[in-house]
Amino acid sequence: MLTALSIRDVLLIEALDLELGEGLTVLTGETGAGKSILLDSLGLALGARADSGLVRAGAGRAMVSATFSVPSGHALNALLRDHEIDLENGEVVLRRAVRADGGSRAWINDQPAAAGLLRDVGALLVEVHGQHDERGLLDARGHRALLDTFGRHEEELRATSRAYEFWKVSVAELEAARTEIADADRDREYLDHAIAELEALQPEPGEEAALAEERAGMLAGQRVAEDLTAISEELSGADGGAARLRAAARRLGRIAESHALLDASLQALDRALLETDEAEAKLAAAGEALAFDEARLDAVETRLFDLRGLARKHRVEADRLSELLSQFLERRTRIERGSEQLASLEQAVKAAATAYDTAAAILSQKRTAAAERLDAAVAAELAPLKLDAARFQTAISPLPQGERGAVGADRVAFEISTNPGADFGPLVKIASGGELSRFILALKVALAGQAEAGTMIFDEIDRGVGGATASAIGARLARLAEDAQVLTVTHSPQVAARGAHHLHIEKRVQNGATRTNVAPLPGTARTEEIARMLSGTAVTDEARAQAARLLG
């Protein structure tokens, strides 16, 4: 709900601060007093196009602030959270500044905001209806949602949306399978050849490292084999060093008792023989460890060459060749089972499409029933609004297959016929200005309580009518105001008398300058204003009496 409006330096308004209340607020004043300025100012705060021509002559900039109270569950809360803007005590302030030299700035709760966001916020807070307004109820793109809200189709919409999403997922899985099988089919010959190669080789994880280590050991043995043989002959042969040491030790043993030094020498020789025996044992062990078979070396090198060549061919590490074989086998199995899998997926798509069609058909039935109720509700409003010959219908037609979606399979449009025998057509193309505004009012009354916006503005919706029709318009505006805040600019005393609040707009000349002012009217002044609207410039006692009766 709009609770306050502050305007600075907009056209003829120098400074204006208004507080607004619940229910129906009427704005009256003589033609040219500046009612449109007030609405243009509010439009600026709601994100309308910034025109530097709105800046009052002599001022550097125009500034408008609009304050709204917002319920906790309102859709605006989520929108502002998405833009990291918090509501302050359930209140949002939209502020717009327009410079005289061009350019504008916008704020939401004192945080800078783009004009586009301001428009999105304004659309959630205020609905503006007038003779030339082509948004809101005149936009056929929103008619389906309005009908669904009127018919309370939340459960059916959820079921249809779930069925649609499941259907789309099923179709995506089928297309992916078809693509995969088609790609694999083209590679069938390659797969068979690659599998045959890998199965013939039978690679094992870790095999390359083990073979490389074995090969390195054998090559090392090949290099030192001749040296080991020569060393063994030098040390252990019949005339080798070990044999000579043993012979020397035997001869020394026969004379060692002759002198202590000879005995010490014998002990040293014994130690040398022990070390020599250990050296011989280690040489023998090394020979066994480094021994190799030429055939085995050839086999190991051939296996390594094959493993590494196949790994390069498939651009993987040799240790992943066995994993690659498993992947190829699985891929070939999918090809072989492709027809069976496709048949299963195709059946799933058919089942999902049937489920969607069923859910959409139930929603369509609900919409048809709701359309009949809405048509009857609107029809009941037309005669009192002097639209006796007019007819209204909610046209529901099936969407083409490719356009069906999460909200169902229907195109919904509100249509009218203003004369007997005339064809139905869109509201905006068939109705004249005065008829259109009254059709909008009839629709708003029928859809009462369905709008998200807490504030509705009707700009001269009663133009061109009077008497009983104006009274009917006033009664319906008052009815709308039971569920939402309604502001209406009016020239009709019958409508003005219905207001819970009455704002008077007047133009004054002060110090040679023309200014527009807006002020609430107390009881006596309000009676006088309605009497003026009844009688014109000269207010008569009879007009005052009639005004009192209207207010009563």
259 found inside a domain: yes
438 found inside a domain: no
Any idea which residue has 């074989």 for tokens?
325
For residue 132, the model assigns a pLDDT of: 47
For residue 450, the model assigns a pLDDT of: 60
For residue 134, the model assigns a pLDDT of: 46
* Coarse DSSP helix, strand, coil percentages of the chain, rounded to the nearest 5 percent: 60, 20, 25
Q: Any idea what DSSP says for residue 460?
A: S
**DSSP H/E element including 251:** helix 241-255
Enumerate residue ranges in the chain where pLDDT < 50.
Answer: 132, 134
28 found inside a domain: no
d(CA 455, CA 379): 25
Q: Where are the beta strands (DSSP E) in 362-440?
A: 391-398, 410-417, 425-426
154 found inside a domain: no
> Of 5, 93, 21, nearest to 501 (Cα)?
21
Residues 156-181 pLDDT 10s: 999 999 999 999 999 999 998 888 77
For residue 164, the model assigns a pLDDT of: 95
406 found inside a domain: no
For residue 467, the model assigns a pLDDT of: 80
361 found inside a domain: no
Any idea which residue has 């055939």 for tokens?
295
For residue 430, the model assigns a pLDDT of: 64
3-class DSSP state of 94: strand
CA distances to 231, 290, 304 from 219, rounded to whole Å, are: 19, 9, 14
According to DSSP, the β-strands at 13-19 and 2-10 are antiparallel
Query: Could you give phi then psi for residue 243, rounded to 5 degrees?
Result: -65, -40
Domain that holds residue 218: 191-336
For residue 165, the model assigns a pLDDT of: 96
331 found inside a domain: yes
The amino acid occupying position 201 is L
Total domains present in the chain = 1
395 found inside a domain: no
